[in-house]
């Protein structure tokens, strides 16, 4: 079974409505080209900054959520709606990705579990935990193509999380993300290829286009990696879209021929999900 995925590397501005419209334009183009699944970047409706998150934050069911739900229904696509700052009833903020099915129903929601607090000498600094709270759910959702796992940006650096999504049946991992000009050139492609190899899964990374005048300069380089670890397609820094065909039978073939997931020594070590 095959599905067509569209990876939308859009320019993100400080105008929320304009960002939603840009996402809709790409999604319409993708649907016209036969895309089954459209993926938007991390924080696609808001500048990536701690100053902006509280201002742009919305509850589940807010303006962006309604817009995206209608968009998915109108186009008849699966929509992994990048991420937006979400405000919950208790007033906390999360970096949250909503997923809508072809009828516009929300079928999943992932809040970034690992907050991006780094301070690289002479390079990137950021402290998401100044404004955001971490999510605590591992997110896998069911489609007619099988299960898809969802993580956000820095979450990708934690191989345990990817492996747990795969243990829950995911053959595709979708990662809205926004690496920067310090860690992007150094680690972006390696990490995506690593997770694909570790788990023999398709891994999709979707970033905002680079804006050198923005508060946070995105590395871009949205990419699709195959379960064999090949980069199927990768963009550079400019706005654009990848349309990639994902072959789920190929995932099965790679896992059958090189059965590393079955070769694990569960008698020696194990990965367990903690009760909350």
Ligand X SMILES: O=C(O)CCC(=O)C(=O)O
Residues 246, 202: contact at Cβ < 8 Å? yes
Q: Could you say whether residue 183 binds ligand X (CB under 6 A)?
A: yes
Which stretch of DSSP H or E encloses residue 132? none
What is the nearest approach in angstroms of ligand X to the Cβ of residue 184?
7
Please state whether beta strands 223-225 and 202-206 pair in parallel, antiparallel, or not at all (unpaired).
Answer: antiparallel
What is the nearest approach in angstroms of ligand X to the Cβ of residue 206?
12
Alpha-carbon distance of 7 to 251, in angstroms, equals 19
Residues 3, 204: contact at Cβ < 8 Å? no
Q: Which stretch binds ligand X (CB under 6 A): 23-31, 58-66, 150-158, 235-243?
A: 150-158
Q: Which stretch binds ligand X (CB under 6 A): 143-151, 176-184, 223-231, 238-246?
A: 176-184
Residues 115, 134: contact at Cβ < 8 Å? yes
Instruction: Quickly tell me which residue has 């100044």 as its tokens.
Output: 130
What is the nearest approach in angstroms of ligand X to the Cβ of residue 128?
7
Alpha-carbon distance of 86 to 106, in angstroms, equals 15
Q: Could you say whether residue 116 binds ligand X (CB under 6 A)?
A: yes
- Asked if 142 is an active-site residue, the reply is no
Q: Could you say whether residue 37 binds ligand X (CB under 6 A)?
A: no
What is the nearest approach in angstroms of ligand X to the Cβ of residue 275?
26
Residues 16, 46: contact at Cβ < 8 Å? yes
| Residues 41-80 contacting ligand X, CB under 6 A | 42
- Asked if 42 is an active-site residue, the reply is yes
Alpha-carbon distance of 41 to 23, in angstroms, equals 10
Please pick, among 46, 58, 109, 112, the residue that the annotation labels catalytic.
112
User: Which one among 57, 72, 151, 178 touches ligand X, defined by CB under 6 A?
Assistant: 178
Residues 99, 140: contact at Cβ < 8 Å? no
User: Which one among 94, 154, 192, 202 touches ligand X, defined by CB under 6 A?
Assistant: 154
What is the nearest approach in angstroms of ligand X to the Cβ of residue 182?
8
161 SS3 class? helix
Alpha-carbon distance of 198 to 203, in angstroms, equals 11
Q: Which stretch binds ligand X (CB under 6 A): 29-37, 166-174, 180-188, 202-210?
A: 180-188
- Asked if 189 is an active-site residue, the reply is no
Q: Which stretch binds ligand X (CB under 6 A): 52-60, 163-171, 172-180, 238-246?
A: 172-180
Q: Which residues bind ligand X (CB under 6 A)?
A: 42, 116, 153-154, 157, 178-180, 183, 187
């Amino acid at each position: 079974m095959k599905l067509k995925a569209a990876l939308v590397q859009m320019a993100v501005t400080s105008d929320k409505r304009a960002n939603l419209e840009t996402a809709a334009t790409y999604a319409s183009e993708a649907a016209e080209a036969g895309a089954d699944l459209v993926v938007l970047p991390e924080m696609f409706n808001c500048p990536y900054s701690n100053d902006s998150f509280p201002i742009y934050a919305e509850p589940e069911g807010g303006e962006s959520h309604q817009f995206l739900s209608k968009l998915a229904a109108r186009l008849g696509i699966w929509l992994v709606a990048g991420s937006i700052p979400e405000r919950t009833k208790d007033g906390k903020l999360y970096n949250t990705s909503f997923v809508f099915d072809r009828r516009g129903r929300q079928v999943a929601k992932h809040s970034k579990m690992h907050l991006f607090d780094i301070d690289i000498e002479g390079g990137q600094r950021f402290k998401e935990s100044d404004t955001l709270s971490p999510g605590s759910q591992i997110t896998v959702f069911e489609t007619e193509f099988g299960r898809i796992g969802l993580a956000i940006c820095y979450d990708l650096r934690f191989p345990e999380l990817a492996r747990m999504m795969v243990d829950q049946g995911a053959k595709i991992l979708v990662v809205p993300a926004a690496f920067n000009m310090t860690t992007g050139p150094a680690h972006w492609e390696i990490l995506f290829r690593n997770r694909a190899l570790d788990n023999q899964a398709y891994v999709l990374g979707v970033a905002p286009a680079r804006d050198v005048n923005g508060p946070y300069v995105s590395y871009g380089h949205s990419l699709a990696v195959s379960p064999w670890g090949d980069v199927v397609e990768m963009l550079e820094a400019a706005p654009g879209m990848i349309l990639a065909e994902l072959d789920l039978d190929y995932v099965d073939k790679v896992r059958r021929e090189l059965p590393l997931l079955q070769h694990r020594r569960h008698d020696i070590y194990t990965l367990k999900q903690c009760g909350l």
